[in-house]
Amino acid sequence: MAETLALLLIEDSPSDAMLLREQLHESMNGDVSIEHTSTLEEGLARLGQGGIDAVLLDLGLPDSSGLETFERVSETLPQPAVVVITGLNDARLAEEAVRLGAQDYMVKDEASPEKLRQSITYAVRRQRILDDLEHVRQEQLAAKDRFLSHVSHELRSPLAVIHQFVSLLADGVAGPLSAEQRDYLDVTTRNIEQLRMMIDDLLDVGRLQRGQLSVEVRAASLNELLAEAVRSFQRSAQDKSIELELRTWPLPTVSCDPQRTRQVLSNLLDNAIKFTPSAGSVRVEAASAGNQVRISVRDTGPGIQPENLEHVFEQFFQEPHAEEASRNGLGVGLFVSRELVTRQGGAIWAESEPGGGTTVTFTLPATQARTARRSTWER
């Protein structure tokens, strides 16, 4: 027994609607249930009730016209297959609707029972294939998230123990240390901190994809956050003979999550130092820009190839041409940073030229205006 398709016809012309219904019943041998509305609002209300397999949609309706008509149908219920029906003069508009997600379009004057049957049947099949693929993709993402979350949590426990015992040694609990031994422990501590950052980023990737990442925005002093971040990376920069400096004007209070902003700054500084060769420099700059504050981290590293620049904020992306020593990361730091900045009402972008270093800039909204009178420097 053939499946009966539930079709919603949204068409304001009574004569066109009658002809289309007759053609559909004729071509589909009664294996179709057709409901008809003459306005978009009525159609959206019916879609909201569910149970519709496909929509035959006229883009010119009394209460809506053009691509907005299709977009509103898609926003209300994206699952049903949508076939746009249009006049000869609107064929280009219908093609644009297909580009935006409609499964097919048909010119009214060229419609025939057979063409209607093929268009509706194929549209439903294509949409179901897309739904199946999306279901598989979501299952794969969920499995990956469970794996990342499990691995991250399992790594945190032994790392915490290692950090605890290293701290005890550094504090002299097990006896006095030589200068060389203390240097070894400092290197170990910095690598433990780098591992902790990587694990936190992995956990945040999972939280982001599950919609569970929390951001608590409040008024905060950005000058203090910047100074703290730069101080925490001074030793890492010194170990590579990199000059790390902070250049900032007196800044207005910003609306941000201080903890998440520290995380963004740490990711950017870690990347900058990692990719900057010995005797290079990393500079952090911040200044007011209208009702925002703009923060930039500039390095003198090898830069990013132009074809890769637009991908640097993608999950797990790593610059293919980077030296192997600079690729000891997971490729999620910038992905997480972009999400954190966006959720705090800002924007983030990268600028680079091969051989000319890289600058990553992000903005945060200011909570009050303040006139900049002098610059301050920290090295």
CATH number, position 345: 3.30.565.10
Alpha-carbon gap, residue 303 to 305, rounded angstroms: 7
Tokens at residue 214, please?
Answer: 């929390």
Q: pLDDT tens digits for 79-136?
A: 668 888 877 567 677 778 888 888 888 888 777 888 888 888 888 888 888 888 888 8
At residue 10, does pLDDT exceed 90?
Answer: yes
Region 284-312: mean pLDDT is: 92
For residue 270, give the DSSP letter. Answer: H
195 lies in some domain: yes
124 lies in some domain: no
pLDDT band of 320, cuts 50, 70, 90: low
Domain boundary pick from 177, 209, 241: 209
Distance of CA 292 to the CA centre of its chain: 21
Distance of CA 42 to the CA centre of its chain: 35
Tokens at residue 94, please?
Answer: 């219908």
pLDDT band of 375, cuts 50, 70, 90: very low
Higher-pLDDT residue of 363 and 333 is: 363
CB-based burial label for 89 (10 Å; 0-12, 13-18, 19+): exposed
At residue 318, does pLDDT exceed 80?
Answer: no
Is 235 in the same domain as 171?
no
Query: Quick one: pLDDT at residue 40?
Result: 92
Alpha-carbon gap, residue 365 to 346, rounded angstroms: 6
245 lies in some domain: yes
Count of structural domains, the chain? 3
Query: Quick one: pLDDT at residue 299?
Result: 96
At residue 328, does pLDDT exceed 70?
Answer: no
Q: Is residue 361 a contact partner of residue 265, using CB atoms and an 8 Å limit?
A: no
H/E stretch holding 282 reads: strand 281-289
Tokens at residue 346, please?
Answer: 């800002």
Is 237 in the same domain as 370?
yes
Is 185 in the same domain as 242?
no
Tokens at residue 128, please?
Answer: 């179901």
Alpha-carbon gap, residue 237 to 164, rounded angstroms: 24
Distance of CA 52 to the CA centre of its chain: 31
Domain range enclosing 23:
5-111
130 lies in some domain: no
Is 49 in the same domain as 160?
no
Is 346 in the same domain as 372?
yes
Query: Quick one: pLDDT at residue 376?
Result: 38
Is 13 in the same domain as 152?
no
Strands of 103-253, DSSP E: 104-107, 218-220, 243-248
Alpha-carbon gap, residue 148 to 206, rounded angstroms: 7
CATH number at residue 156: 1.10.287
Tokens at residue 250, please?
Answer: 């007196």
pLDDT band of 340, cuts 50, 70, 90: very high
Is 192 in the same domain as 104?
no
Is 319 in the same domain as 353?
yes
Is 63 in the same domain as 201?
no
H/E stretch holding 163 reads: helix 113-170
pLDDT band of 377, cuts 50, 70, 90: very low
Region 310-336: mean pLDDT is: 69
250 lies in some domain: yes
Is 200 in the same domain as 222?
no
pLDDT band of 50, cuts 50, 70, 90: confident
Instruction: Using alpha carbons, select from 360, 212, 354 the residue that is nearest to residue 273.
Output: 360
User: Amino acid letter at 333?
Assistant: G
127 lies in some domain: no
Higher-pLDDT residue of 252 and 2 is: 252
* Global pTM value: 0.56
268 lies in some domain: yes
C-alpha angle 213-215-216 in degrees, rounded to nearest 5: 145
Region 346-355: mean pLDDT is: 92
Q: pLDDT tens digits for 217-232?
A: 999 999 999 999 999 8
User: Within 10 A of 370 (CB to CB), how many other CB atoms are there?
Assistant: 12
Alpha-carbon gap, residue 237 to 189, rounded angstroms: 15
Alpha-carbon gap, residue 299 to 284, rounded angstroms: 9
Is 69 in the same domain as 192?
no
Query: Quick one: pLDDT at residue 2?
Result: 56
Is 167 in the same domain as 188?
yes
CATH number at residue 100: 3.40.50.2300
Higher-pLDDT residue of 202 and 60 is: 60
String of DSSP letters for 68-132 = HHHHHHHHH--SSEEEEEE-GGGHHHHHHHHHHT-SEEEEGGG--HHHHHHHHHHHHHHHHHHHH
Q: Is residue 284 a contact partner of residue 375, using CB atoms and an 8 Å limit?
A: no
129 lies in some domain: no
Q: pLDDT tens digits for 260-270?
A: 999 999 999 99
